[in-house]
């Protein structure tokens, strides 16, 4: 059953391909194609959105699901009856699993054409952008469609060059502002990189990593905001007809890391990192997190030192525009160690990614349950099992209030022990959180859970 909610909140914008340039014929020059049906995909470009379901309804009120997509994801390309009008509906699942409709738009799908419907902007005031193009019979060639969903107020100029060539050898595709779409001419299959230039000043602000275009098809390249340490604050999502979205960052983007001291009785923790940007962090307090440190991307060697313990020559790899967190702990031999993982710094009030770290070495593994108000541990839908010592696991949760229970089940006796709990935990506006299971004070039950933004 569906419930109608927030209907017409979205400003609907349908945008066709606007600018053609490059080195070959336009897709509008020849309307012949061997593709006999119509095709549609849905892309979610709203950073603070819930997972969104796209559905088509025909004139006979028959529903067809396109699929669901979370932020920066795309559905598979669905084949539908051509030259037919449909009602496109967007919905999300509420806390009770009920689909809430929040936007709809009439669309017509044309024979041999593909429509990529894009949900972009901010979740409180988003837009729909539709890219509609002929599916061509390309032979060892490909075509690019660019769409600008960034918050940049200046027009952006797009150029494309083969890897190894500089911007002076690049082909200009055109200028693009928010919500607009431009189309390239065809290129030969090869590896290329994409330049973005401030069209007002002529300043190059972005040069992508190499993108290997290996399929004779049409690619959609989404210019989007990024939330890491990149100077340009732009990244590219490359979309084909599959469910895969490939993200490419600025080749010269910076990276960042922070460090958490998980040891209660280690107050003299010092960390040194050597590489492109050497960093020294001294006397990190117990159970405290440092600020993010911005550095050049690269492979770093880091060492940990206390008055009595040390660990040397550990590897920390930081890619372009990557944000990582390191958790420093003592291993089973009481030596200093660290685990690290990447985190996305997107703000989200609707969906959250928890990185769960187990620092308890008394058991082979533990389980973590996220229990809603109307659930028990037996009926909880959200949980992580088999979490071994020093393991890091991820769990996606929707915004809700949870009791978080840390348990261990003895494999021999099937006895379940409740090790620690956190009650009435409401997830905030941070998209990624860290949950640490660790040994605690004896008076508190020996074990504890800590939640960190």
* Tens digits of residue pLDDT in 313-338: 999 999 999 999 999 999 888 889 99
Do 199 and 257 lie in one domain? The reply is no
Parent domain of 376: 343-453
* pLDDT for res 100: 86
Do 258 and 244 lie in one domain? The reply is no
Q: pTM (2 decimals)?
A: 0.87
The CA R_g of the chain, rounded to the nearest whole Å, is 25
Do 166 and 199 lie in one domain? The reply is yes
The tally of domains found in the chain comes to 3
End of a domain among 342, 372, 405?
342
pLDDT at 6 > cutoff 50: no
Do 238 and 265 lie in one domain? The reply is no
Band (pLDDT 50/70/90 cuts) for residue 443 is low
Do 136 and 181 lie in one domain? The reply is yes
Instruction: Spell out a b/e string for 228-261, using b for 16 or more CB atoms within 10 Å of the CB, else e.
Output: bbbebbbbbbbbbbeeebeebbbeebbbbbbbbb
**Looking at residue 289, which CATH number applies to its domain?**
2.60.40.2890
**Looking at residue 94, which CATH number applies to its domain?**
2.60.40.1110
**What is each CA distance from 76 to 43, 80, 220, 239, in whole angstroms?**
10, 13, 14, 10
Do 160 and 179 lie in one domain? The reply is yes
Do 101 and 220 lie in one domain? The reply is yes
**Looking at residue 355, which CATH number applies to its domain?**
2.60.40
* pLDDT for res 4: 35
End of a domain among 215, 248, 281?
248
Of the given ranges (15-29, 133-147, 198-212, 332-346), which has the lowest mean pLDDT? Answer: 15-29
Do 314 and 438 lie in one domain? The reply is no
* Helix, strand and coil in the chain, % to nearest 5: 0, 55, 40
Q: Which of 94, 112, 114, 113 is nearest to 102 (CA)?
A: 94
End of a domain among 248, 281, 300?
248
Do 104 and 180 lie in one domain? The reply is yes
Do 43 and 81 lie in one domain? The reply is yes
Do 175 and 317 lie in one domain? The reply is no
Can you tell me the distance from the alpha carbon of 320 to that of 346, in angstroms, rounded to the nearest whole number?
16
Do 381 and 335 lie in one domain? The reply is no
* Tens digits of residue pLDDT in 328-372: 999 888 889 999 999 988 777 678 899 999 999 999 999 999 999
Answer for the pair 320, 249: CB distance below 8 angstroms, yes or no: yes
Of the given ranges (97-101, 132-136, 415-419), which has the lowest mean pLDDT? Answer: 97-101
- 127 token code pair: 């837009």
């Amino acid at each position: 059953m569906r419930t109608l909610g927030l209907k017409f909140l979205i400003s609907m914008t349908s945008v066709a391909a606007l600018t053609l340039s490059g080195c070959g014929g336009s897709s509008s020059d020849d309307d012949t194609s061997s593709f006999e049906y119509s095709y549609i995909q849905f892309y979610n470009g709203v950073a603070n959105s819930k997972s969104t379901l796209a559905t088509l309804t025909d004139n006979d009120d028959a529903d067809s699901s396109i699929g669901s997509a979370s932020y920066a994801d795309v559905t598979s390309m669905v084949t539908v009856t051509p030259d037919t009008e449909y009602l496109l509906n967007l919905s999300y699942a509420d806390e009770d699993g009920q689909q809430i409709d929040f936007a709809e738009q009439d669309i017509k799908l044309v024979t041999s054409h593909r429509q990529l419907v894009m949900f972009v902007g901010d979740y409180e005031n988003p837009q729909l952008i539709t890219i509609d193009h002929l599916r061509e019979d390309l032979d060892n060639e490909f075509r690019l469609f660019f769409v600008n969903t960034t918050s940049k107020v200046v027009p952006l100029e797009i150029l494309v060059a083969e890897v190894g060539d500089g911007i002076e050898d690049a082909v200009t595709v055109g200028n693009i502002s928010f919500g607009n779409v431009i189309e390239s001419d065809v290129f030969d299959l090869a590896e290329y990189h994409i330049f973005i230039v401030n069209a007002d000043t002529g300043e190059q602000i972005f040069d992508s990593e190499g993108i290997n275009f290996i399929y004779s098809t049409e690619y959609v390249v989404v210019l989007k905001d990024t939330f890491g340490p990149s100077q340009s604050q732009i990244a590219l999502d490359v979309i084909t007809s599959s469910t895969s979205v490939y993200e490419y960052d600025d080749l010269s983007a910076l990276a960042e890391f922070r460090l958490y001291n998980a040891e209660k009785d280690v107050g003299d923790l010092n960390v040194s990192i050597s590489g492109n940007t050497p960093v020294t962090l001294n006397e990190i307090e117990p159970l405290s997190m440092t600020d993010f440190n911005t550095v050049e991307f690269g492979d770093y060697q880091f060492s940990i030192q206390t008055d009595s313990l040390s660990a040397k020559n550990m590897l920390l790899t930081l890619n372009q525009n990557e944000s990582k967190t390191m958790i420093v702990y003592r291993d089973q031999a009481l030596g200093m160690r660290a685990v690290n993982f990447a985190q996305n710094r997107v703000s989200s009030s609707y969906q959250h990614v928890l990185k769960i770290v187990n620092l308890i070495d008394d058991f082979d593994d533990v389980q973590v349950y996220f229990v809603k108000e109307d659930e028990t541990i037996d009926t909880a839908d959200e949980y992580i099992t088999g979490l071994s010592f020093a393991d890091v696991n991820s769990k996606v949760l929707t915004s809700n209030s949870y009791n978080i229970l840390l348990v261990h089940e003895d494999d021999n006796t099937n006895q379940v022990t409740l090790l620690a709990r956190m009650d009435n935990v409401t997830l905030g506006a941070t998209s990624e959180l860290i949950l640490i299971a660790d040994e605690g004070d004896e008076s508190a039950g020996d074990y504890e859970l800590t939640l960190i933004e």
